[in-house]
Amino acid sequence: MADALVERLHSLKKERNAVILAHSYQPADIQDVADYVGDSLGLSRLAADTDADVILFCGVHFMAETAAVLSPGKTVLIPDGNAGCPMANMVTPRQLREWREKNPDAVVVTYVNSSARVKALSDICCTSANAVEVVATIPKDKHVLFVPDRNLGHYVKTKLGREMELWNGFCPTHERMLPGMAVEARKQHPGAPLMVHPECRPDLVAMADFVASTTGIIKHCHDSAEREFIIATEIGILHPLRKQNPDKVFHPLTVVADCPNMKLNSIEKMVWALEDMEPVVTVPADIAEKALQPIRRMLEIG
Ligand code: CIZ
Ligand code: SF4
């Protein structure tokens, strides 16, 4: 059954001239059939560069939107249209517009985990891989609002020792990881470094041996001479970590760090999406044009 589905997926992929992109938080079987696995921005940049007509983006809605913004003219599909990101939904365009009206001179830095409409109201975007570098380019006397992740914002503030206003958003999956779990994991796996994503709570980030984005964690674990690691981010990442490092051991900080939205996608829904050519993720042209500006400014920084 599963093999027949995968076969059907491959033939539809050819028929549609589609490319399959999967975020490293996706279920393992989806990552295994994808053409590329990576973080949201890296995948969106790949999407813009391929000559595929159709992008099947296995991730959550804001990621597919970013691909649509960077690839006008291509059809962007998502396997499950309900796969949204609760953190991205914690700031609405109306709220941000109202804040901007009250703070006309402030700079709004927006994490890519946000809707295209929110990006369109922002000055510059950032990812968890470049947030510190992005904020470092803003003059110190500027009032900065960091949207929507208070935890990533707190990490940037601490790293740079600068004041910033933080939107009160967070990732419910990363928020579930607690310092007590790190104490316990260190007892169970003495000497194993604790790798923490900056979407985690500040009290957990403060305990980390290494803080990085998904791509940063994957690269560090690969390059490190250590053989055993404790991983504090969404558990989908264990799949690429184990696949790329069969001689190393990876312990999740907790198995409850399992994003239910990411897991709405399935191979079956991927087949349906390519068969029916829906759900299509679109961004209206005027919004896409405005959302592209803060993304471009971020890309110029590197
Ligand atoms: O931007 C991404 O892909 C996310 C959600 C996390 C990360 O650290 O890469
Ligand atoms: Fe959103 Fe968190 Fe799920 Fe990522 S892991 S999609 S930030 S809820």
Q: What is the DSSP string of 82-148?
A: T---TTGGGS-HHHHHHHHHH-TT-EEEEESSS-HHHHTT-SEEE-TTTHHHHHHTS-TTS-EEEES
What pLDDT, on a 0 to 100 scale, did the predictor assign at position 276? Answer: 98
The rounded Å distance from CA 23 to ligand 2 centre is 11
Distance in angstroms (rounded) separating the CA atoms of residues 150 and 155: 9
Q: Indicate if ligand 2 lies below 6 Å from the C-beta of 86.
A: yes
CA 248, distance to chain mean position in Å, is 25
Residue 231 CB coordination number (10 Å)? 24
128 Cα to the center of ligand 1, angstroms: 6
Looking at the CA of residue 42, tell me the nearest atom of ligand 1: 3
What H or E segment, with its residue span, contains residue 1? none
**Whole-angstrom distance, CA of residue 244 vs CA of residue 71:** 29
What local confidence, expressed as pLDDT, does residue 290 receive? Answer: 98
Alpha carbons 86 and 269: distance in angstroms, whole number? 21
CB atoms closer than 10 angstroms to residue 226: 15
CA distance 107 to 80: 34
Give the number of whichever ligand sits closest to the CA of residue 127.
Answer: 1
Instruction: Of 90, 156, 164, 91, give the one whose Cα is nearest residue 126.
Output: 156
Whole-number pLDDT of residue 286: 98
Mutate to test the pocket of ligand 2, among 66, 78, 89, 234 (most ligand atoms within 8 A of CB): 234
Pairing mode, if any, of strands 194-196 and 228-232? Answer: parallel
Which residue lies with its CA nearest to atom 1 of ligand 2? 85
CA distances (Å), 222 to each of 127, 218, 245, 246, 248, in order?
21, 6, 7, 10, 9
Q: Give me 263's structure tokens.
A: 């897991």
pLDDT the model gives residue 1: 56
Q: Using the atom order of ligand 2, give the atom closest to the CA of residue 259.
A: 3
* pTM, rounded to two decimals: 0.97
pLDDT in tens, the chain (302 residues): 579 999 999 999 999 999 999 999 999 999 999 999 999 989 989 998 999 999 999 999 999 999 999 999 999 999 999 999 999 999 999 999 999 999 999 999 999 999 999 999 999 999 999 999 999 999 999 999 999 999 999 999 999 999 999 999 999 999 999 999 999 999 999 999 999 999 999 999 999 999 999 999 999 999 999 999 999 999 999 999 999 999 999 999 999 999 999 999 999 999 999 999 999 999 999 999 999 999 999 999 86
Ligand 1 residue neighbourhood (C-beta within 6 Å):
23, 39-41, 112-113, 127-128, 197, 213-215
Q: Which long-range contacts (CB under 8 A, 24 or more apart) does 177-185 make?
A: 177/201, 177/204, 177/232, 177/253, 177/254, 177/257, 178/204, 179/203, 179/204, 179/207, 181/253, 181/254, 182/207, 182/230, 182/232, 182/253, 185/230, 185/251, 185/253
Q: What is the pLDDT of residue 199?
A: 98
How far apart are the C-alpha atoms of 85 and 90, rounded to whole Å? Answer: 9
